[in-house]
Amino acid sequence: MSQLVGYARTSTTDQKAGLEAQLRDLRAVGCTKLFHEELSALATTRPELERMLDYVREGDTLVVTKPDRLARSTSDLLAIAKQLEADGVTLRILSMNVDTATPTGKLMLTILGGIAAFERDLMLERQREGIAKAKAEGKYKGRAPTARAKGDEVKRLKAEGLTADVIAEQLGIGRASVFRILRAN
């Protein structure tokens, strides 16, 4: 039996009214199961989002009030939408009147994806132009090779009998970098 599943999120616990409003709106459209959390979209893990994605089944519809409540960015939104589609779950975004169960909803999501890709391409182009200009002006040197610059210290510490883990910790570099330096000699 398919159902409407709601997901709500606020960035902080200070936004109780915002969370309550989202939950009210989700209930008003008929969501029978609600997942909600109070943490930043930038958090590395969003447990309730993961629980919701595990919970939804083929034929279900995920409902959110706004796209930024579900995803960190347009590309993140599209990745979540793709995962939902693969699971046979449709997505409804109330603020945009987008419903991927309809051809128009799918089109709107595809347009968002195109815009996101376009924005990313423009950003990368501007970045390349900025780097080229900085190089031409002698201002761009690239990232400093942190581990390779410490090659002599790595060799000295290894000669003193220290392990790769201890060397990495003492010099503030990765263990793999220690092995890379030692293999090069």
In the chain, list all ranges with CATH 3.40.50.1390.
4-102
**Strand order from edge to edge, sheet including 98-99:** 33-38, 4-10, 61-64, 90-93, 98-99
> In the chain, which segments carry CATH 1.10.10?
148-183
Q: Based on the residue annotation, tell me whether 11 is a catalytic residue of this protein.
A: yes
Looking at 2, 11, 75, 95, which residue is catalytic? Answer: 11
User: Thinking of the domain 148-183, which architecture would CATH place it in?
Assistant: Orthogonal Bundle (1.10)
Residue 49 and residue 119: Cα distance in Å, rounded? 26
Residue pLDDT tens, the chain, 185 long = 889 999 999 877 657 788 999 999 999 999 999 999 988 656 778 899 999 999 999 999 999 999 888 887 777 888 999 999 999 999 999 988 899 999 999 898 888 777 877 887 888 899 899 888 988 998 887 777 777 788 899 999 999 999 999 998 888 888 888 998 888 86
Q: Which residues contact 12 (CB under 8 A, 6 or more apart)?
A: 38, 39, 40
Residue with tokens 């939902």: 84
SS3 of 2, please? coil
Which CATH number applies to 4-102? 3.40.50.1390
pTM here is 0.63
What is the rounded CA–CA span in Å between residue 60 and residue 15? 28
